[in-house]
Structures are given as structure tokens and as C-alpha cells.
Amino acid sequence: MIRFTGVNKEYDDGHQVLKDLNLEVKEGEITVLIGPSGCGKTTTMKLINRLIEPSSGRIEIGGKDIAAFDPVALRRKVGYVIQHIGLFPHMTIAQNVAVVPRLLRWDKSKTAARVDELLSMVGLEPKVYRNRYPSELSGGQQQRIGVIRALAADPSIILMDEPFSALDPLSREQLQDELIRLQHELKKTIVFVTHDMDEAIKLADTIILMNGGTIVQTGHPDRILRHPANDFVKNFIGKKRLQEEGRRRVFTTVDQVIADQPVTALPTRGLAEAVKMMEKKRVDTLLIVDPSNRLLGTVSIYRVLDHYGDEGKTLADVMTPVRHAVKTNTPLSVALNLMSEHQLSNLPVVRGEGEFVGLITRGSVVSHLADVYANPEGGEEVHAG
């Protein structure tokens, strides 16, 4: 987690860019900083890797004040992607990607393997692209290299300063989709700066909307669209988006109502292990997944106990296959109809070829609706300014 507490930034000419900034960036999520030009969003991001130093206040990463970190060492541990990519034109693609691993003194074989892994991850065949130069790539391909260069040393935090804004609309949309896909796999803590509300809505787990060096509203994109805090937020979102959101309200998706992550287990677990796990986690059902997190089935405590005397049996022998599941982005209305038709108390949500994402339950649906409509006037967090 990244935490700002009472952070101010004032320059020598007296211009105050940030005013008593208090915010949290959640681990493993994409947090988007957005606002008009000069609102302080880029300054806020650059404080995280100490490209800019605060005038006062405290910034913590993982509970530790970054003022105590060596700035150079800190920057090598934080990935950074900028708008104009910044690839070195005289270096090959492999050399560009390997800049930070080389600074960290990785051995050549480990570095080469990492470069090939990352190129493959973004759909660029290593044998084809490894030895090319930036000038031989399209703008979209160059930006992909910029992204994987930031990932090369496997940092937990990635800073992205309007990385796609210079691209054509098609390339931009493709890279947004690519970032979402990568984030599903890698679960990095990403701070993303943009001035484009559509981009923020598409990418963000949390949006932080700024104006005049202060936070105006922060929350999930859906929350901000439904409950803009004030006229500034309404105007920044735009009347057209608000009207579209009003028409879309009935199309809440299952992604927005997933319950707290249920307890999963591998099918190779023994029955005694399963009982211990259920006792420890205080649950009566386990979701069975393979090593790739693909959902295989479920098993209840009652079924485990029925077979408890059969030594040598594993969860694979007693689990019940999943007969009903929905994919991410399925409209909630479809899922509720399925639950009602088959008298289900919960429904698994999967991605792609069956990767388990979570469960929606009757309780999670009720909690979501209560949260959405409990505060019709404002967002999750509103600050003066």
C-alpha cells in the first residue's frame, strides 16, 4: 500500500501545487489520478519515486517512510512508464528492456530469459523483435516495450504517466486492453495518470479526481459515475457520460458484486487436510481449483465427512463438478435469473477458459445495492476544494 499523509508541495515562487494531500493506493490495484491540467496529478505520482520531493508531509510504501530510502535504489524498484516512451534509440529492444536488470547486476542468462518472457507476454515474438531497434517498431509496439521495460525487474509498483495519450485511438484501445490483461495476471500496484475520463473508467479499480492540488472525489468508477460529488465532478465527467450511465444502471455486471474471496484448495488435498482448512477458515465449503486457478468443482464439509473413513481419498475423489458459472462482465440480471432458476445460494465467476475469479452470493448482491444507493448525494470520499 502507498499512503500520503498531509502532503504539501510548494515551489520557491510560492505556487502551491499540492495542499494537504491524504490518500491511499491499494496494493494490487490500478489507481488512476485524473483531473484538469495543473491539478497536481503528475506531481503526486512523481512524489512516489522521489523524482519530486514534498515540501511537507509523509509518504509511505508498505508502512515505511520513503524519505528514508535511497532515491536511486527506490527508482530501480519502481517501474516507470512515460508518455513519450523514452526508449534508447541506439540500443536494441532486448537492451532497452534489460536496462534495470543490468543495473541490478542480473546475470546474462537470467536477463535474456526475462526479456524473452516479457516480449512473449505482450505478443512480440522474441526471435523477431529482440535484436531490432526502436525505429523499426510502430508507435504501439514501442509503447509495449516501454511497459515491459518497467516490468523487467519485477517491481511491485508501476507508475504510468499518460503512457498512451500520444497514440492513435486504435493503438490506444489495444494497449488499454493489454494493460488490463497483464494486470489480471501480474496483480501489480499501478498508479496511472491520465486526463481522459473514458480511459480512467475503463482501467481503474479506483479513480482519484483532483482539482487545484486537492482531492475532490475518490472511489470505484461506477460509484463516481452514479454519485458525482459536486458540479465540478459532473462537469468533468460530462453530461453525455452521465446520461449514458443513467441508461446503463440496470446493467450492473457480476464483477461489481463479487463476495470476499472464498477459500480454495487443490484437488490433491487429503480429506483430513480439508477438514482442518475448513475449521481454520470457518467455512463449510471449499472451491477446488487446479494449479492455474482454473475452477474444477466444490466440496462441502458434509461430503468430506461422508467419505472421511476412506483413507487415501483426496478432494478430487469427492468434489462435485461445477454445473453453473458465469463469466466476468456478465450482466447481474442474467446471473440472478440463473440463481433463481436453479435455486443457487451462490454462483462462481470465471474468466477466459475457466480461471476462478470469485463468487457472487445473495449477501454480496444485497451489500452492493445497499452501498450504491445508501449515499445518493456524494461519493465515497469527498474533500473540500
pLDDT score for 169: 80
Cα–Cα distance for residue pair 162/33, rounded to 1 Å: 10
Which distant-in-sequence residues (6+ apart) come within 8 Å of 136 by Cβ? none
Contact 58, 6 (CB under 8 A): yes
pLDDT score for 50: 93
Cα–Cα distance for residue pair 126/168, rounded to 1 Å: 25
Q: Tell how far CA 274 is from the center of its chain.
A: 31
Contact 254, 297 (CB under 8 A): no
Q: Transcribe 40-80 into DSSP letters.
A: SHHHHHHHHTTSS--SEEEEEETTEEGGGS-HHHHHHTEEE
- In order of their start, the domains of the chain are 2-250 (3.40.50.300), 256-368 (3.10.580.10)
Class of residue 381 by CB neighbours under 10 A (exposed 0-12, middle 13-18, buried 19+): middle
Which distant-in-sequence residues (6+ apart) come within 8 Å of 274 by Cβ? 265, 286, 299, 304, 315
pLDDT score for 310: 81
Reading the block at residue 306, the C-alpha cell is 461422508
Contact 385, 214 (CB under 8 A): yes
Hey, which residues does 217 pair with through a beta bridge? 209, 382
Three-state secondary-structure class, residue 250: helix
Cα–Cα distance for residue pair 30/202, rounded to 1 Å: 11
Per-residue pLDDT of the chain (385 residues; tens, 9 = 90+): 899 999 999 988 888 999 999 999 999 899 999 998 889 999 999 999 999 999 999 999 989 999 999 998 898 889 888 876 678 889 999 998 998 888 888 999 999 999 998 898 888 899 999 899 988 888 888 888 888 888 888 888 999 988 888 777 877 888 888 888 888 888 889 999 998 888 888 888 899 999 999 999 999 887 888 788 899 988 888 766 665 555 454 457 888 888 766 788 999 988 888 888 888 888 888 899 988 888 999 998 998 898 888 878 899 999 998 888 888 888 887 888 888 888 888 888 988 878 888 888 877 777 766 665 554 444 444 443 3
Which distant-in-sequence residues (6+ apart) come within 8 Å of 265 by Cβ? 273, 274, 277, 286, 287, 288, 289, 315
Cα 224–17–179 angle (5° rounding)? Answer: 45
Cα–Cα distance for residue pair 299/270, rounded to 1 Å: 12
pLDDT score for 165: 80
Sheet (strand 206-211) strand order: 78-81, 157-161, 189-194, 30-34, 206-211, 214-219, 381-382
Other Cβ atoms closer than 10 A to 314:
17
Hey, which residues does 124 pair with through a beta bridge? none
Buried b (16+ CB within 10 A) or exposed e, 162-177: bbbeebeeebbebbbe
Contact 296, 290 (CB under 8 A): yes
Q: What is the pTM of this model?
A: 0.62
H helix runs in 187-293, sequence order: 197-203, 221-226, 231-237, 239-248, 271-281
Three-state secondary-structure class, residue 16: strand
Identify the DSSP state of 227: S
Cα–Cα distance for residue pair 204/192, rounded to 1 Å: 8
Cα–Cα distance for residue pair 231/20, rounded to 1 Å: 22
Cα–Cα distance for residue pair 50/298, rounded to 1 Å: 48
3-state SS of the chain: helix, strand, coil percent to 5? Answer: 40, 25, 35
